[in-house]
Structure 1
């Protein structure tokens, strides 16, 4: 129920009762071709005393005064029910609130404009006491009367979850988020977290990524980045090159937080043939105390990649020359990837542009890495333009980097 905390705050249930007390003229009015509607003097006096006690939060006095009410007309029943509701609200007695609302609905005095919202409130109260069948019935009734707010959608989602029906809950949450976005208001983080959990359980990795990126635009602290990337990395079907770029993004955010982070990143870099990058990340992990020199896996890995890193760097000039003369852009893409792994981003930009010009490459992948290389080189507008051209499986990873570029742009501004 955490993402429904704002649903039931400040509900104006008893405004009619307060109005009747404050405006004696309403206690007696003539209706054309009908009887006089009146409240007795004794009833009106008890109402005024009860209302005063409620306003001062004197629950004992309010309870006594309300118990003394003896409603004889429809309008008196309406006012008494409103007072009982307010008393129950001050006591925190949800069951009594729900009963008072039922009594309110039995009268003919409830203003039509208030009925849709109050039917929703009735649904919420039934939900709160565990009567989910009545909660749904009240929400359906509220909808027929014209009330179908975002809070009602979220309440329906929570009811479905309480009934262990996540597949039924998810569309309601999706609709609520869509309406919130359409209103121009940010999506509350609690809603995002619920939607992410549902998408994760459903194996909808596209939506998981989209929701995490949206969330990071609001909450982009290191911990938020690590949580988003770590969870997204567990998505099925993400190949090693995509994983590698997500670890690079995690590192760029200073969000490497554990031995596992550094070890997994280094192993991915080594398997991809980026030996100098693997060496660099192991050394970085040791520097901040997340890896130790005696840690077996990374100690063995460091020993293996150190001589290879030297050869990798030495071979780059010849590879760049070969790429320039090649008929396709595949060699330039590989050289660009090598420069990228070394953190030599201007050189990587040059090679990626050459690869795109020559063709014969995965343009989605090249544009994604070109965008990152441009960003790390300081060209943030150019970076966004390139990232927007990423396609296929690379579009999602590029989207994460795009959020990061937006954050850097705000820092510069």
Structure 2
């Protein structure tokens, strides 16, 4: 048996579809609606309904329902059909008969005479009955009608998205959540963080990275917490088929966003940097992990990596000026790229950016890699416009998405 999501279940409970009595058209609400709108009944309908009311007050519900059915057989006008639905609803509520409650709700709604302020709750209640019996397709149909009738009600649109998810339509669910977010934004109201997270969860559960990446970008753009950055980047790392170089650039972003947690993150990053000939970056990551108490300096694995990295930093750093000079006269941009990577690891972003530009000019290197790192160096040095221009030149996956994530970080005032 398929289970509905917790949000959709909460929706059903909120609409009253629990315990056998989904009450929206209560007697008090119905009486108020009647006062607002004068309802006209023919004598052929009025008489049996009057008898039904007396029988209900006496507690004879079955006899009252029989009289209501007698009136229903004679009903012709929208007003008569609405009032009969209302009477039926009251009997159904007293009997705790969900099938009859649904029939009465539908009769009131379809009568054409329901007051405007009752239409939305009546429509929601019909969806609740469908949810109660796990008829997700039926509930989806009801909420499509609701969303069409009340397109500016973001909460309804969110509920529609959940029903798309329950009906195994992730693309429609994500698209609908995006509409709900835009609807909320149009009213200058804060969009709940849970909506963004739900959008990402639906996409990720469906293994739809074409949906998950935009959802991740929306999440970190709206709520750039360390946890959201980490979750979004790890989802992409684990599903995006990244090579070692792309993974390194993603870990650089995770560090910049303050999203690294625990020894696994720090060790993976530091070890990757060290293995790629970047001892300065490896040592910086280890030192940061120790300072944030994420790494235990006494643990042999980290102590050894720290010792190896530190032992190479002095000579490596001293070699860079000569390499930078040689790179500018080299036949291609490979030496410039490697030297720029080293400067990036030492946080000398200006020198790194200069050499990445040399690498691009000389060619013979992967332009998407170089433009990604040029954007990183410029972003880290505060040159937002130039960084954005570099990121915009990155194409092809997974590099284009990595550039988009970096741009999202840059947009947050980095």
Length-normalised TM-score, structure 2: 0.75
Unaligned stretches of 5+ residues in structure 1? 30-34, 51-60, 161-167
SS of residue in 2 equivalent to 1:217: helix
| Deviation for aligned residue 1:294 | 2.5
Distance in 1 separating the partners of 2:331 and 2:269: 33
Match 1:217 to one of 218, 221, 237: 221
- What does residue range 262-341 of structure 1 map to in structure 2 within 5 Å? 262-341=266-345
| Deviation for aligned residue 1:237 | 1.4
| Per-residue Cα deviation, 1:26-67 (whole angstroms, up to 9, x for no partner) | 2337xxxxx6787569859x79xx9xxxxxxxxxx9x999x9
- Indicate the residue corresponding to 1:243 in structure 2: 247
- Indicate the residue corresponding to 1:394 in structure 2: 399
Q: CA RMSD for the aligned pairs?
A: 4.3
- Indicate the residue corresponding to 1:27 in structure 2: 39
| Deviation for aligned residue 1:98 | 2.9
| Deviation for aligned residue 1:258 | 0.8
Distance 1:190 1:129, change over 3 A: farther
8 Å CA contact 1:120–1:147 kept in 2: the answer is no
Q: How many residues align?
A: 380
- Indicate the residue corresponding to 2:166 in structure 1: 159
- What does residue range 11-410 of structure 1 map to in structure 2 within 5 Å? 18-23=32-37, 26-28=38-40, 39=46, 43=50, 71=68, 72=71, 74=75, 75=79, 78-79=82-83, 81-82=85-86, 97-104=101-108, 107=111, 109=113, 121-132=125-136, 134-135=138-139, 142=145, 150=157, 153-160=160-167, 168-177=168-177, 179-180=179-180, 189-392=193-396, 393-408=398-413
Distance 1:386 1:175, change over 3 A: same
The higher relative CO (CA closer than 8 Å, separation ≥ 6) is in 2
Distance in 2 separating the partners of 1:352 and 1:94: 70
Length-normalised TM-score, structure 1: 0.75
| Deviation for aligned residue 1:170 | 1.1
Unaligned stretches of 5+ residues in structure 2? 17-22
| Per-residue Cα deviation, 1:362-384 (whole angstroms, up to 9, x for no partner) | 22222221112112112122222
Distance 1:101 1:381, change over 3 A: same
SS of residue in 2 equivalent to 1:328: coil
